Amino acid sequence: MNTTIWMALALVLVLEGLGPMLWPRVWRRMILAMTQLPDRLLHRFGGGIVVAGAVVYYMLSVHGGS
Distances (CA, A) of 48 to 1, 22, 52, 55: 26, 26, 6, 10
For the cut 60, the answer to whether the pLDDT of residue 34 exceeds it is yes
Q: What is the mean pLDDT of the chain?
A: 91
Number of separate domains in the chain:
1
Say what the pTM is: 0.70
- Give the pLDDT confidence score for residue 42 in this predicted structure: 95
Q: Which domain holds residue 14?
A: 3-64
- The arithmetic mean of pLDDT across residues 21-44, rounded, is 96
Q: How confident is the model at residue 44 (pLDDT cuts 50, 70, 90)?
A: very high
- The arithmetic mean of pLDDT across residues 30-54, rounded, is 95
